[in-house]
Amino acid sequence: MWRDHLTEIIVFSLLFLLVSVMGFVAARWRAPKDMAHLDEWGLGGRSFGGWITWFLVGGDLYTAYTFVAVPALMFGAGAAGFFAVPYTIVIYPLVFLVLVRLWSVSHRHGFVTPADFVRNRFDSPVLALLIAITGIVATMPYIALQLIGIEAVLKTMGVTGDNALARHLPIIIAFAILAAYTYQSGLRAPALIAFVKDSLIYIVILVAVIYLPYKLGGWGDIFAAADAKFDASPNPNDGILLNGNNQLQYVTLALGSALALFLYPHSITGVLASRNRDVIKRNMSALPAYSLLLGLIALLGYMAIAAGVKPLPGNSAGSVDNNTIVPLLFDQQFPDWFAGVAYAAIGIGALVPAAIMSIAAANLFTRNIYKEYLKRDASPAQEATVSKITSLVVKVGAVACIVFLDPQFSIDLQLIGGVIILQTLPAVALGLYTRWFHRTGLIVGWVAGMGLGMWMLYQVASPTRKHFGGSAFPLSEFGFDTTRTIYVGIVAVAVNLAVAALVTLALRAAKVEEGVDGTEPDDYFADEGDPRVTPGTERDADSAREPVA
């Protein structure tokens, strides 16, 4: 019952109110001269320095869902869930090498989205459209998942209802507030709120990893409890270490997820909002602090085992909702007021990425669909307006996904999302280094990668489901005599690349028109204050814009 959790609910609500106010005030923070411009609304004026970028990108990449789902995975499967750690180590050198180039070329040409870049680089509106749609489709379920993070907390506090509408009312209200201040303040809102969110999370986790092992008898006992649980379970692939079957899956999932994460539109939005190349590069050394945090959060799953936490029932009869184990652990082990702080950390933690994701998806729609196909001569002010409205639509869609569909559907879609966003790797990431690929080759490769990825995901069964049971594809399906599994996304993107290369060779032999590269080699090294940024405007107020060809 919710009355037993009154203190938690009050603390949670107060902190939630605080960030809502901050969200609205953010419009005046680092006040822009003209908010009616997509660079201002959608990229915070491209002016964020080191600290803001650290909080913003950290708050963006490490979402509430991550904080809830990773320990849930550790709780359920053990070592396999720890892939989140190598995954978030590998991503930073990759960003250091690759996304810095994207920042430079975007800075000089005024690109807002990865599809803008592809449009210009490969002279292909069709390829850009595919990249934009891929980004939007991959981002939508990710936003919906943030709601699952909040719901896990609300459920633990006993805030539920008898029918779907009553049960979801708190989330609908939360998202309505979020939508309103994102509409008003744009990227400045999550940037400002991220300070609160991340501070709360760091405090909660530091307390948790010092206090809980002390209460539960030390780390040795915690690992022993986890080991005993997995030994007793019938599943051969769980345990506190990996076995021969899931090692390949572990490393391909870590690598594939890292490659996917930095292709996600919301990560790119966070990176493009930084002031210069140095800010990004320095952040690649500072952001791994969050990886350490995530590693410790993952271990909360084992602490929940040691503390004997029993997950709350799921939406369908007989199922359990492992996502509730972390909130339950806090409820059981912490004083009420501190559990309330922890819940607020998770709840607010959902708002920051949800805001950035909806902005990123809105920018994609505005730049690569609206401006490309609906209104070619749209002014920057019109672009900002369309983006603001689209961000509202995106959030309504995300809430509708959770209210009207089984949440499992969003989880499936997010699984698919990681695989499909990887299919933009050849055009976006490799495109930053080479224009060797033919634009049509990239399109055919994308189709092949998407098709194969979907088929493979469909084939993956789990103990409870026949299809879409996970992303670990058994290699025996390809006719190999082995019980090993591999991450679907890596195979799909490898095929994508191979097809793109073959088609490129064929088209080049046939001398098919390749279009004109709109960028120059030294665009990829341009930095703040570059003399060739489209002139006529002061950088901080209205930077880096040129009419899209």
Q: Which is nearer to another protein, 344 or 497 (CB)?
A: 497
Task: Based on the shown chain and the rule CB under 8 A, indicate whether residue 92 belongs to the binding site for another protein.
Answer: yes
Where in 492-521 is the site for another protein (CB under 8 A)? Answer: 517, 520-521
Where in 98-117 is the site for another protein (CB under 8 A)? Answer: 101
Q: Which is nearer to another protein, 295 or 515 (CB)?
A: 295
Task: Based on the shown chain and the rule CB under 8 A, indicate whether residue 167 belongs to the binding site for another protein.
Answer: no
Q: Which is nearer to another protein, 150 or 422 (CB)?
A: 422
Task: Calculate ∠ Cα 275-358-525, nearest 5°.
Answer: 30
Task: Based on the shown chain and the rule CB under 8 A, indicate whether residue 245 belongs to the binding site for another protein.
Answer: no
Number of other CB atoms surrounding residue 480 within 10 Å: 11
Stretch that binds another protein, among 3-11, 128-136, 291-299, 411-419 (CB under 8 A): 291-299
Q: Which is nearer to another protein, 336 or 527 (CB)?
A: 527
Task: Based on the shown chain and the rule CB under 8 A, indicate whether residue 247 belongs to the binding site for another protein.
Answer: yes
Stretch that binds another protein, among 135-143, 251-259, 398-406, 488-496 (CB under 8 A): 251-259
Please, what is the minimum distance in Å from the beta carbon of residue 476 to another protein?
Answer: 20
Stretch that binds another protein, among 143-151, 191-199, 286-294, 357-365 (CB under 8 A): 286-294
Task: Based on the shown chain and the rule CB under 8 A, indicate whether residue 531 belongs to the binding site for another protein.
Answer: yes
Alpha helical stretches, state H, 321-379: 325-333, 336-365
Q: Is the separation of the CB atoms in 151 and 172 below 8 Å? A: no
Q: Which is nearer to another protein, 187 or 255 (CB)?
A: 255
Binding another protein (rule: CB under 8 A), the pick from 6, 36, 94, 180 is: 94
Task: Based on the shown chain and the rule CB under 8 A, indicate whether residue 539 belongs to the binding site for another protein.
Answer: no
Q: Which is nearer to another protein, 30 or 435 (CB)?
A: 435
Kindly state the tokens that stand for 257. Answer: 């997820």
Task: Based on the shown chain and the rule CB under 8 A, indicate whether residue 196 belongs to the binding site for another protein.
Answer: no
Please, what is the minimum distance in Å from the beta carbon of residue 543 to another protein?
Answer: 18
Please, what is the minimum distance in Å from the beta carbon of residue 49 to another protein?
Answer: 16
Dihedral over alpha carbons 19, 20, 21, 24 (to 10 degrees): 120
Site string for another protein, 313-352 (x = CB under 8 A): ----------------------------------------
**Dist CA 230 CA 301 (whole Å):** 13
The three-state secondary structure class of 296 is helix
Q: Which is nearer to another protein, 376 or 532 (CB)?
A: 532
Kindly state the tokens that stand for 105. Answer: 């070329």
Task: Based on the shown chain and the rule CB under 8 A, indicate whether residue 278 belongs to the binding site for another protein.
Answer: yes
Q: Is the separation of the CB atoms in 130 and 443 below 8 Å? A: yes
Q: Which is nearer to another protein, 50 or 380 (CB)?
A: 50
Stretch that binds another protein, among 154-162, 212-220, 262-270, 366-374 (CB under 8 A): 212-220
Which residue, 169, 148, 151, 187, is CA-closest to 29?
187
End-to-end CA distance of the chain: 60
Please, what is the minimum distance in Å from the beta carbon of residue 293 to another protein?
Answer: 10
Q: Is the separation of the CB atoms in 128 and 116 below 8 Å? A: yes
Sign of CA dihedral 183, 267, 73, 400: positive
Where in 4-23 is the site for another protein (CB under 8 A)? Answer: none
Number of other CB atoms surrounding residue 232 within 10 Å: 7
Binding another protein (rule: CB under 8 A), the pick from 16, 62, 67, 82 is: 82
Task: Based on the shown chain and the rule CB under 8 A, indicate whether residue 392 belongs to the binding site for another protein.
Answer: no
Task: Based on the shown chain and the rule CB under 8 A, indicate whether residue 478 belongs to the binding site for another protein.
Answer: no
Please, what is the minimum distance in Å from the beta carbon of residue 86 to another protein?
Answer: 4
Kindly state the tokens that stand for 419. Answer: 């695989």
Task: Based on the shown chain and the rule CB under 8 A, indicate whether residue 228 belongs to the binding site for another protein.
Answer: no
Task: Based on the shown chain and the rule CB under 8 A, indicate whether residue 299 belongs to the binding site for another protein.
Answer: yes
Binding another protein (rule: CB under 8 A), the pick from 27, 254, 360, 548 is: 254
Binding another protein (rule: CB under 8 A), the pick from 219, 447, 501, 537 is: 219
DSSP secondary structure, 405-469, as one string: S-HHHHHHHHHHHHHHHHTTHHHHTGGGT---S-HHHHHHHHHHHHHHHHHHHHH--BTTBSSS-
Which residue, 496, 488, 495, is CA-closest to 248?
488
Task: Based on the shown chain and the rule CB under 8 A, indicate whether residue 446 belongs to the binding site for another protein.
Answer: no
Q: Which is nearer to another protein, 292 or 320 (CB)?
A: 292
Question: Count of residues binding another protein (CB under 8 A)?
Answer: 49
Please, what is the minimum distance in Å from the beta carbon of residue 376 to another protein?
Answer: 28
**Dist CA 445 CA 451 (whole Å):** 10
The pairing of strands 485-487 and 472-474 is antiparallel
Q: Which is nearer to another protein, 140 or 255 (CB)?
A: 255
**Dist CA 9 CA 159 (whole Å):** 9
Helix (H) or strand (E) run with residue 132 in it: helix 125-156
Please, what is the minimum distance in Å from the beta carbon of residue 239 to another protein?
Answer: 10
Task: Based on the shown chain and the rule CB under 8 A, indicate whether residue 546 belongs to the binding site for another protein.
Answer: no
- The CB-based long-range contact list for 281-289 (8 Å cut-off, 24+ gap) reads 281/96, 281/100, 282/50, 283/50, 283/53, 283/54, 283/57, 284/92, 284/93, 284/95, 284/96, 285/92, 286/50, 286/54, 287/54, 287/57, 287/58, 287/61, 287/92, 288/88, 288/89, 288/92, 289/58
Please, what is the minimum distance in Å from the beta carbon of residue 74 to another protein?
Answer: 10
**Dist CA 373 CA 371 (whole Å):** 6
Residues at the contact surface with another protein, assessed by CB under 8 A: 79, 82, 85-86, 89-90, 92-94, 96-97, 101, 218-223, 240-242, 247, 250-251, 254-255, 278, 281-282, 284-285, 288, 291-292, 295, 299, 433-436, 517, 520-522, 524-527, 531
